[in-house]
Structure 1
């Protein structure tokens, strides 16, 4: 994967979308999108059910080394969906921007990746996880998570978007190759 994705502005078109003519807005920088992806904000993961229907659930997500990492009890719907069909979307909104990453998730179990993911969760959320074999263990989890230990999924981005809630930047798309 390239170090920086290809960036493009998404032009505002259509009735009611005109921007202030005096505002000279630029697309959001990828560095700013990465910062927003590593903030302790609420994140949502959309996956594909076996019948093709969507499934969405809240969870912790972190950006590390050009990938999004999420963890989930291996028996949950989102984990089973990712194992069967890795297509997924992670979304968050931080600092007046909606950030969306579309990609493919793959279960990871090597100790180095699990350790980096554990460190990232601690740095972003203050969530103390530890590597336990091929999983991450923790003293606690979300009430709806099924409880630890958790499988870790690495999501390789294919396309990402940022949409401003206020007129601070142009709607932006990034393409990864």
Structure 2
């Protein structure tokens, strides 16, 4: 299912912004954000620790349909955080834009969703994973990952943002209703 969120420009007009009020720049179209979310680039996931403190970690993330997917060792801090409090923020920096997705991440275990995530990880990163029960297995993982197998979390977006590094588009907000 494709989702087309409500888009709005974030007014950048003001002293020091480098964009004047008469600029002909437009907000970034949602497909531009999706393309960046599916780039072979590192992402960062911010989660909430049990004491309410933030936790941020780099990881692979992919976008498929209307959701983001991340994988994590089920004993990792980010996995434990998402299990306790689903609020999270996923960020990446691709093609002169910072893209940020705020939402909720829940662990998935159904075979169809795991296969979709596995196929997306292969397509984006060339990372060959296979569904093994309610986890993804792989012949290798990041040195700091704890090694396979991995739990998969599906992030349902609530709000997303894109901020240009250069004057190529207006700062943009998307709301998922």
**TM-score in terms of structure 1 length:** 0.97
Contact 2:26 2:169 in 1 (8 A): yes
Structure 2 equivalent of residue 94 of structure 1: 94
State the Cα deviation string for residues 41-79 of structure 1 (Å, max 9, x = none).
Answer: 110000000000000000000000100000000000000
Superposition RMSD on alpha carbons, in Å? Answer: 1.4
Q: For residue 118 of structure 1, give the secondary structure of its aligned residue in structure 2.
A: helix
State the Cα deviation string for residues 144-168 of structure 1 (Å, max 9, x = none).
Answer: 1110000000000000000000000
Give the length in aligned residue pairs. 177
Is the counterpart of residue 32 in structure 1 residue 22 in structure 2?
no
Contact 1:2 1:176 in 2 (8 A): no
Structure 2 equivalent of residue 69 of structure 1: 69
Structure 2 equivalent of residue 4 of structure 1: 4
**Counterpart-to-counterpart distance in 2, 1:42 and 1:167:** 23
**Counterpart-to-counterpart distance in 2, 1:54 and 1:66:** 25
Structure 1 equivalent of residue 51 of structure 2: 51
Structure 2 equivalent of residue 160 of structure 1: 160
**Counterpart-to-counterpart distance in 1, 2:21 and 2:83:** 48
Contact 1:8 1:27 in 2 (8 A): yes
Deviation at 1:17, TM superposition (A): 1.2
Contact 1:100 1:162 in 2 (8 A): yes
**Counterpart-to-counterpart distance in 2, 1:9 and 1:114:** 35
Q: For residue 123 of structure 1, give the secondary structure of its aligned residue in structure 2.
A: helix
Structure 1 equivalent of residue 146 of structure 2: 146
Contact 1:140 1:148 in 2 (8 A): yes
- Hey, which bits of structure 1, 4+ residues long, moved more than 3 A? 20-23
Q: Which runs of 5+ in 2 are unaligned?
A: none
